[in-house]
Structure 1
Amino acid sequence: MPGWLEVVIRSFVSLVILFTVSKIFIRKSFTQVTYFEFVCGIVIGAILALGSINLQIPIAYPIMGLLIWGFIPYFMGWLSIKSETFRNLAYGRGIPIIKDGKVLEDNMKQQRYSSDELLKQLRSKNVFQVADVEFAVLETSGDISVLLKKDYQPVTPKDMGIKVAPIKEPETVIMDGKILDEPLATIGKNRQWLEMELEKIGVAIENVYLGQVDSYGQLTVDLFDDKLKVPSPQQLPLLLANIKKCQADLEAFALQTNNPTAKAMYEKNADEMMVVLEKVEPYLKQ
C-alpha cells in the first residue's frame, strides 16, 4: 500500500474514533473542562498525530491509546457522580474568597489567587467594589460566582409587586425560507394560519430567513433583506386597547343615562371590566 494512502486511511479512522469518543464521553463546554481533562485532550491529540503519520507504529496501537485516554475522563466523571469523596478529591470544591464584603485572605493565599485576579474577575461581572459583595466563591474552573448584597442586586418585578406574563420557549416555524411543519403542529397551528399571518404583514415565505411564534401565538420574522422593516405584532396591544375602550364606554354610559337601573348595571359591568383589565394587563403589555 502506498504510504500516502495509508496516512489517509489512518487519519480518517482516527477522526472517526475521535468523533465517536467526543460525542459519547465528552459532554462539557470548553470552559467547563478541568485541567486533567484538558491534559487528556492534549494527549489524545498527540496520539492522533503520531498514529496518523508514523507508519512504523501499528494502527491498532494509537486506536487503543485513543480509546483508553478518552475513556478515563468519562470513567472519572461517572465515578464522581457516585462518590462525593472521589468528586472532591478529583475535581475539588468551591472555595469562599469573599464573605460579608470582606476578602478571605487565607483562602486566597491557599489557592494562590492574587488580588489583581480577584478584581479582574469581579469587573467581568460588573462588580467594581468588594464591599458590595455578600458572598463570592472561587469555582474549580477558576471562575468566580458572586452574590451581591441585597441593596445592590437588580430590582425584579417580584420585588416591586408587579405581575408579569410567563415566558415560554418560542417555536421556530420558518427557517431559511422553508416552513417547519413539526413546530407548527406543536403549537396547534397549520400552514394556512402561517400564510395568513405573513399576508397581514405583507411578507412572502421565501423572503423569511427566520420565523418564530411565541407562547401567545404572535409571529415575528427576520427577513433575508436587512434593509426591509417588518411591523411588530399588534394582536396583544390591540386586545388591551379594546378592553380599555369597553371599560371606558361602560363608565361613559353610566354617566350619560338617567335611568337608575341602567346606571347601576353599567357601573357594575364597568367595575367587573376593570377587574378583568387589572388581571390581563400584565400579560398583554409588551
Structure 2
Amino acid sequence: MPMWLEVIVRTLVAVVVLFILTRLLGKRQISQLSFFEYITGITIGSITAYISLDINTDWYLGLIAVTVWFLVSIGIEYLQIKSKKARDWIDSSSTVLIKDGKVLEDNLKKEKLTNEELMEQLRKKSIFKVAEVEFAVIEPDGQINAMLKNEYQPLTPSQLGIKVAPEPEPQTVIIDGKIMDEPLATLGLNRKWLNTELEKLGVSLDNVNLGQVDAYGQFYVDLYDDQITVPQPQEKAVLLAQLKKCEADLEMFALSTDEKAAKKLYGDCSANLQQVIDQVKPLLIQ
C-alpha cells in the first residue's frame, strides 16, 4: 500500500475511533472538565494523531493505548459517581474566596489566584465592589460564583408581592427565509396567519433572516437588508388604547344617567376595568 494511502486510511480510522470514544465519554464542556478528564482528552488526542502519522509502528498498538486510557477514564467516572470521597480527591472541592464582603487571602493563595484575577472574574459577573459580595466560591472547574448581599441584589416581583404568570419561550417561525411549521403549530398558528403578518410589515419571506413570535402573539423579524426599517408591532398599544376607551365610556355612562342602579353598575364596571388595565399595562407597554 502506498505511504500516502496508508496515512489516509490510518487518519480515517483514528477519526472514527476518536469520535466514538468522545461520544461514549459524554458531552461535558471544556470548562466543566476535571483535571483528569482534561489530561485524558489531551492524551487520547495525541495518541490518535500518532496512529494516523507514525507508519513505522503497528497501528493496533495505538488503538490498544487509546482503549486503555478510555477504560481508565470510564473507571474514574464510575468511581466518582459511587464515592463522594473519590470525587473530592479527584476533582477537589469548592473553596470559599469571599465571605461577608471580606477576601480570604489564605484561600486565595491556596488556589494560586491573585487579587487582580479575582476582581476580573467578579467584573465578568457585573460585580465591581468586593464589599457588596456576601459569598464567593471557586468551583472545581475553575469558575467563580458569587452571591451579592441582600441589599445589593436586584428587586424581583416576588419581593414586591407581585405574582407574575409564567411566560412561554418565543418560537422561531422563520429561519433563513424558510417557514418552520412545527413552531407555528406549537403556537396554534398557520402559514396563512404568518403571511398576513408579513404583509402588514411590508416585507417578503425571502428577505427575512429570522422571524419570531412571542407568547403574546407579537411577530418580530430580522431582515437580510439592515437598511430597511421594519415597523414595530402595534397590537399591544392598540389593545391598551381600546381598554382605556372602554373604561372612559363606562365612566361617562355612569355620569350621564340618573338611575341609581345603572349608575352603580357602570361605576363598578369602570372601577373593575381600571384594575384590569393597571394589571396588564406593564405587559402592553413593553
Structure 1 length-normalised TM: 0.91
Alignment partner of 2:118: what SS? helix
The alpha-carbon distance between structure 1 residues 183 and 152, as it changes in their structure 2 partners (threshold 3 A), is same
CA change 1:35–1:162 in 2 (3 A) is same
CA distance change for structure 1 residues 24 and 174 in 2, over 3 Å: closer, same or farther? farther
Q: Which residue of 1 aligns with 2:209?
A: 209
SS at match of 2:215: coil
Listed one character per residue, the Cα deviations across residues 108-167 of structure 1 (whole Å, up to 9, x for unaligned) are: 233333333323322333323222111111111222111111122223343344555533
- Counterparts of 1:217 and 1:282 in 2: how far apart (Å)? 16
Q: Distance in 2 between matches of 1:172 and 1:24?
A: 32
Residue of structure 1 in register with 2:225 after alignment: 225
What amino acid sits opposite 1:98 in the alignment? I
1:62 maps to which residue? 62
Residues 151 and 124 (structure 1), Cα distance of their counterparts in 2 relative to 1, 3 Å cut: same
Residue 277 of structure 1 and its aligned partner are, at CA, apart by 2.1
Q: Give the whole-Å Cα distance in 2 for the aligned partners of 1:73 and 1:233.
A: 54
User: Which residue is 1:146 aligned to?
Assistant: 146
**Cα distance in 1, alignment partners of residues 113 and 58 from structure 2:** 46
1:198 paired residue number = 198
Where do 4+ consecutive residues of structure 1 move more than 4 Å?
Answer: 161-165
In 1: Cα distance, 2:242 partner to 2:46 partner: 68
Gaps of 5+ in 1: none
Give the Cα separation in 2 of the matches to 1:253 and 1:147: 55
State the match for 2:15 in structure 1.
Answer: 15
Task: Tell me the CA shift for residue 9 of structure 1.
Answer: 1.0
Distance 1:225 1:67, change over 3 A: farther
Which stretches in structure 2 are left out of the alignment for 5+ residues? none
Number of residues of Structure 1 aligned to a counterpart in Structure 2? 286
Deviation at 1:94, TM superposition (A): 0.6
Q: Is the 8 A contact 1:165 1:282 kept in 2?
A: no
1:51 aligns with 2:48: no
* Aligned residue number for residue 258 of structure 2: 258
Which whole-Å CA distance do the structure 2 matches of 1:81 and 1:182 have between them? 38
Deviation at 1:275, TM superposition (A): 2.8
Give 1:197 deviation, angstroms. 1.4
Percentage of identical aligned residues? 47
SS at match of 2:131: helix
Structure 1 stretch displaced more, 237-246 or 59-68: 59-68
Per-residue CA distance 1:11-38 (angstroms, 9 max, x = gap): 1111122222223323122222222222
Aligned residue in 2 for 1:106: 106
- Three-state SS of the structure 2 residue aligned to 1:147 is strand
Cα offset, 1:69, TM superposition: 2.7
TM superposition score normalised by structure 2: 0.91
Aligned pairs (5 A) from 1:1-286: 1-162=1-162, 164=164, 166-286=166-286
Decide whether aligned partners of structure 1 residues 252 and 82 sit closer, same or farther in structure 2, where only a CA change above 3 A counts.
Answer: farther
Greater mean deviation of Cα atoms: 167-176 or 5-14: 167-176
* Distance change in 2, residues 1:259/1:172 (3 Å): same
Tell me by how many angstroms 1:100 deviates. Answer: 0.9
**Aligned counterparts of 1:145 and 1:134: Cα–Cα separation in 2:** 11
Q: Which moved more, 1:14-23 or 1:47-56?
A: 14-23
Alpha-carbon offset, residue 187 of structure 1: 1.8
2:97–2:105 Cα contact (<8 Å) kept: yes
Distance, in Å, in 2 between the alignment partners of 1:187 and 1:95 is 46
Distance 1:189 1:76, change over 3 A: farther
Give the conservation status (yes or no) of the 8 Å contact 2:198–2:204.
Answer: yes
Residues 25-55 of structure 1 show CA distances to partners (whole Å, capped at 9, x for unaligned) of 2312222222222221221221122111111
Quick one: which amino acid aligns to residue 140 of structure 2? Answer: T
Q: CA 1:192–1:115 in structure 2 vs 1: closer, same or farther (change >3 Å)?
A: same
- Paired residue type of 2:209: Y
SS at match of 2:154: coil
Query: Once superposed, what is the RMSD of the aligned Cα atoms?
Result: 2.1
SS of 2:255's partner is: helix
How has the CA–CA distance of structure 1 residues 133 and 122 changed in structure 2, closer, same or farther, with 3 Å as cutoff? same
Deviation at 1:74, TM superposition (A): 4.3
Distance 1:57 1:230 in 2: 64
Higher alpha-carbon deviation: 27-36 or 57-66: 57-66
